[in-house]
Structures are given as structure tokens and as C-alpha cells.
Amino acid sequence: MESKQQPITALPAWQALGKHFRKIKNVHLRDLFADDPERAARFTVEAEGLRLDYSKNRISGDTMKLLAALADARGLVQARADMFSGKAINRTENRAVLHIALRNRANTPIMVNGCDIMPDVNRVLGQMARFSEAVRSGVWKGFTGKPIRAIVNIGIGGSDLGPVMAYEALKPYTQRDLIVRFVSNIDATHIWEATRDLAPDETLFIVTSKTFTTQETMTNAQTARDWCLSALKQETAVARHFVAVSTNAAAVQAFGIDPENMFEFWDWVGGRYSLCSAVGLALMLAIGPHHFLDMLEGFHAMDRHFLTAPPERNLSVILGLLGVWYNNFFNAQSHAILPYDQYLSRFPAYLQQADMESNGKSVDRQGRRVTWQTGPVIWGEPGTNGQHAFYQLIHQGTKLIPADFIGFCKAANGMGLPRASRGDHQAKLMANFLAQTEALAFGRTADEVAAQGIPPELVPHKVFAGNRPTSTIMAEQLTPAMLGKLIALYEHKIFTQGVIWDIFSFDQWGVQLGKELAGRILPELTAVAEPELKHDSSTNALIRMFRRYRCQD
Ligand code: G6Q
């Protein structure tokens, strides 16, 4: 696990940033804009149909140069080349990190252990497309000869959040008479509610699990299997109503799934980076292979952009650097993702996993405890809902919360309908979108409040300090390709930050301990005889409480 990296705090680039921060930290965005009529143009970059206006951030040209120097000192260019060329950069698991291969539409060879992996990638994409067409067209029949009307994806974490987010995002592109649902939680409520109104002989389950051992997924899959067989009676029905997405062929077969209907992926695809693999099967079934490939094209375009654009024009790098600026110099604890598009309602939750599982680490690549902050808390909700909920704190609270505002000029809803029949929703939505970043940046001074005739005792309550940083990401419309671009944009932002912080972004050891302890506690909850409990006094008492009520259940 050798690394030549010095602690980040020892780098001259870091120290220069610290010095620069002391100079700029109290400068107001009002002054930065007033002093430079070209500021918006200076800090706007457009690539692949995505415009990033980052002028409402507390930065100057020098800030960006110093941050870029930090990334340079951290070897971002080499790190990026290592990822794209298939080096085993996930060193704690000794794996390559090649989600970019899944959407490598140029089809250039990408080698892992001396073998080009692109033929395998294309083979599975072809298998997914054929299967999707068969189900969508009704050629694929269930056990009683009926076509499939409902798809239920069973998976959790990386095997759920991507497909569910993208399904919601691309609803206008879905085959509307096909019901598509997602079950993840081990709480039986989830599978119960997802299946209660479905007909077993018209339902197809996709069991999505890289390992095919995850407790939640296997428990839900077993319940789904029982539900299906209690109606269809014969074991052979499983092969018509269950398919699997996994790397574990033996376990898939043991479950009763025909190996023909297993969609493979590989250990070089991390769970939270797996949407473009067979993990996206439920999405492909919903939107069709053609739109799925459009999405991959979008991902690929942003991958190329990240790989080739210079830092000052590189959207992911810019977002990454801004995040470091607030996280490490302004000590911002969190970062809000605020999409002004209801179809992106699950996008913040998706990025929460992508970012927090990747960069929520506290040792560097040599295993030393870091003395600098790493990944922020990622959170958010779609606008305008958030405005009526938590924006108060962003505007007037004591915490600095940098935010990304994501919006589109054209609505994705009501496509094909004449504009007149769609009302003025989109203009109102975007008026709010633009107003919020303006209000956050410039605020309202005490003088401006007083000038409105507000009683003096109310003035302090109505003052908006402003100087709250935002980045605006705008595009024409949310399409499959645009969704791919947006996701890749953030994936590479996360990568950029992981390199700067010198942490391993592609493992997730932090999820293990809880799993292990749950395995120990489960028999203590279910044992008939009173078990001898050897936990702390708090856990022991809580276990006893559960057992007391369970006896009465
Ligand atoms: C993601 C994580 C994690 C994983 C789930 C599901 O990067 O690895 O969220 O995706 O734990 O794992 P399986 O796909 O193996 O069931």
C-alpha cells in the first residue's frame, strides 16, 4: 500500500491556498461582481451541452489557479490516466476501476490482466438488449403463457440507487404500460407494498446483486420466490419469473435461475458506479435499449471531456476543486444538491451514496490518519420543494452550505404537447431557480430592508447576509444522454477530490462492522431460550425489549 504522497498539509500548494484564503475569506460576492463586469463569463464553462456557471462562488482567478496547482501536485493527471487504463487503483481490494469501460462507446480496447474487456462489455449489453426487447414486446412469456406486465428489481445500495434514480429521471422515456418497481429494504414493508397488487404470473423479478450474498437482497428474493411459487406452484416457474444480475454464477444457479438469464458484470465495476452495467437492466427494460444506449453515449461524452479537457475548462475538475475549497478552507461540513426538476428527485440520494461512500474515509492511502477534512455530507431535495423547507437555514443560518443548482430550459414533462397546454410551470420553476442563487449570493442589506419601511426592530430578522456560494448547472433538457453526462460529471468530481485528499475512493470498508454485528445479534433476537447477552448495557437492554414484545407478536 505504498504511496509517495506527502501529507496534503505539507504541500506548498496547500500552504499557498491557506494564505490566499486569509486574504479572500471575507470578500463579498457583491464586491467581486461589482469589480468585474466580466465575472460571469470568466467563470462559466460549457461542455457537452452542460453549462457550469461557477461565478457565484467565493473565488477569484487566483483561487482557481492555486486549487489547480494543488490538484497538479497531487498527480491528478496521472491518477486519471491510471483509472482509464485499467490499473488496479482500488488497492485495498486490488481491483481496477473501470466503470468508464461500460460506456466506452468508441469501443477502444481496455485491458485488464492482459485481456481486452470490451468484447465482454458489448456481449452483455447485447444480451440485455435482446432480453429487454423480448419482455417489452411480450415475446417473453411467464410460466402460464402471459406476457410480463410488471418488473420488480430487488437489490440494495449500488444495486438499487442507480436504477431507481435513473428510472425516475427518465420516466418520460419509459414504456408506460410496464410497471417497474424497486425493492431494497429488508423491512418486509418494501416487498409487501411492491407486490401486493401484482399478479405473480405477469411479474418478472430481477435479483440484482454483485455478490448474490447480500442479506437484504437474498431475503427479499426468497420472499419474492415464495410469493411467486405460492401462486404458480411449480419450481420450474422460477426460471420464467426470475433473472439475475450478478458476478456469482454458482449462487444464481442454486437459486433456480437459468444461467442463460444471468446478466454478468465484473469485479472492476464498483456497486455505486454500476448503473451502466447489467445493474441497469430494469432501467433498460423501462426505457428500451435505444434510450439506454443514448444514456451511455452521454456518459462517454463526459468521460472524454474529463480525460481530455484542461483543468480550467474541465467541469468535473472545477466542481471538485470548489468542493475542496469550501470543505478544507471554509470548513463547510456539507454540500447541497438541488435539482430543479422533479424527475431528478432521487438524484441527491444517488449522489449521497456515490460521494459519501467513496470519500467518507479518514485514513490516507498509506493508512495514516488524515489531519485534513475529507468528504462532505451530501444532501438535497428538488426545488422548489426545498425552498419551503430547509432553504431558510441556507439563507440565514450560521452554517455555510455550498450548493449546486441543476436546472433545464425545457421541461421533460408533457413532451409532444403544445406549449400552451403545458401552462407556465417551467418558467415559474426556473424563475425560482435563478432567484435563489441571486438571493444567496447578494442577499439584502440592512439599509435595503430599512428602505422598505420595515420597523427597526424587525430589520435584523429580514437581513440576508448573502455571500452564500452556489454553482449553477444548466442544460437544454433532461434526456437520457443528459442524465448520463450529469452522473459522469459528478463521478469524476468525486474522483478528483479523492485524489486530492489522498484517500481510496473505491472501497467501502466502513459498511462491514455493522453487517458483522447484525449477524451476531440476529440469533439473539430470535432464540427461543433467553440468550446470554454479552454486549454493552445499552444494547443488552434494547435486545431484551425487542424480545419482550416479540413474544407477544
Ligand atoms: C457500493 C457498495 C454497496 C453495494 C451493496 C449491494 O458501491 O458496494 O452499496 O452495492 O452492498 O451489494 P451487492 O450488489 O453485492 O448485493
* Per-position DSSP letters for 199-262, written without gaps between them: -GGGEEEEEE-SSS--HHHHHHHHHHHHHHHHHH--GGGHHHHEEEEES-HHHHHHTT--GGGE
**How is 115-152 classified by DSSP, letter by letter?**
EE-HHHHHHHHHHHHHHHHHHHHT-SB-TTSPBP-EEE
331 lines ligand 1 (CB under 6 A): no
Residue type, 212: F
The enclosing H or E element of 429 equals helix 425-442
Which residue in the block uniquely carries the three cell numbers 442507480?
A: 162
φ and ψ at residue 153, rounded to 5 degrees:
-90, 125
pLDDT in tens, 297-346: 999 999 999 999 999 999 999 999 999 999 999 999 999 999 999 999 99
357 lines ligand 1 (CB under 6 A): yes
Q: How far apart are CA 238 and CA 142, in angstroms?
A: 10
- The pLDDT of residue 3 is 53
95 lines ligand 1 (CB under 6 A): no
How much is the average pLDDT of 18-40? 98
271 lines ligand 1 (CB under 6 A): yes
The enclosing H or E element of 357 equals helix 347-359
Q: How far apart are CA 88 and CA 94, in angstroms?
A: 6
Q: Which of 2, 38, 388, 532 is catalytic?
A: 388
Is this prediction's pTM over 0.75? Answer: yes
Ligand 1 pocket: which of 97, 99, 156 to mutate (most atoms within 8 A of CB): 156
162 lines ligand 1 (CB under 6 A): no
- The pLDDT of residue 553 is 72
The β-bridge partners of 141 are 147
Q: How far apart are CA 457 and CA 2, in angstroms?
A: 61
The enclosing H or E element of 513 equals helix 512-526
Residue 552 pLDDT level (bands cut at 50, 70, 90): confident
How much is the average pLDDT of 394-422? 92
Q: Which of 357, 381, 491, 524 is catalytic?
A: 357
Distance 432 CA to ligand 1 centre (A): 37
Between 400 and 6, the higher pLDDT residue: 400
Instruction: Please enumerate in sequence order all residues whose Cβ is within 8 A of that of 472, keeping only pairs 6 or more positions apart, or say none.
Output: 51, 52, 53, 54, 56, 404, 405, 407, 437
217 lines ligand 1 (CB under 6 A): yes
163 lines ligand 1 (CB under 6 A): no
Which residue in the block uniquely carries the three cell numbers 411467486?
A: 228
Ligand 1 pocket: which of 99, 182, 210, 216 to mutate (most atoms within 8 A of CB): 210
491 lines ligand 1 (CB under 6 A): no
Closest to 316 in 3D by CA, of 71, 87, 41, 113:
71
- The reply to whether 515 belongs to the active site is yes
Q: Which of 25, 290, 399, 515 is catalytic?
A: 515
Residue type, 468: R
Query: Percentage of residues in the chain with pLDDT exceeding 70?
Result: 99
How much is the average pLDDT of 203-211? 97
- The pLDDT of residue 4 is 64
pLDDT in tens, 60-116: 999 999 999 999 999 999 999 999 999 999 999 999 999 999 999 999 999 999 999
C-alpha cell at 27: 470578500
Distance 495 CA to ligand 1 centre (A): 19
Q: How far apart are CA 435 and CA 383, in angstroms?
A: 12
Nearest atom in ligand 1 to the alpha carbon of residue 155 is 16
- The reply to whether 388 belongs to the active site is yes
Residue 2 pLDDT level (bands cut at 50, 70, 90): very low
- Atom 8 of ligand 1: nearest residue by CA position: 271
- Atom 5 of ligand 1: nearest residue by CA position: 157
Q: How far apart are CA 232 and CA 377, in angstroms?
A: 46
pLDDT in tens, 224-272: 999 999 999 999 999 999 999 999 999 999 998 988 999 999 999 999 9
Alpha helix ranges (H) inside 61-187: 61-73, 76-84, 99-102, 118-137, 161-169
Which residue in the block uniquely carries the three cell numbers 419482550?
A: 548
Instruction: Please enumerate in sequence order all residues whose Cβ is within 8 A of that of 229, keeping only pairs 6 or more positions apart, or say none.
Output: 235, 237, 238
Distance 270 CA to ligand 1 centre (A): 8
Q: How far apart are CA 296 and CA 167, in angstroms?
A: 14
- Atom 10 of ligand 1: nearest residue by CA position: 158
What's the gap between Cα 217 and its chain centre? 20
Whether the CB-CB separation of 278 and 163 falls below 8 Å is answered with no
Distance 10 CA to ligand 1 centre (A): 35
- The reply to whether 381 belongs to the active site is no
Nearest atom in ligand 1 to the alpha carbon of residue 270 is 7
- Atom 13 of ligand 1: nearest residue by CA position: 209
- Atom 9 of ligand 1: nearest residue by CA position: 157
Which residue in the block uniquely carries the three cell numbers 456481449?
A: 123
209 lines ligand 1 (CB under 6 A): yes
The enclosing H or E element of 356 equals helix 347-359
Residue 417 pLDDT level (bands cut at 50, 70, 90): confident
Q: How many CB atoms lie within 10 A of CB 432?
A: 14
Q: How many helices (H) and strands (E) does the chain have?
A: 22, 13
Q: How many CB atoms lie within 10 A of CB 28?
A: 15
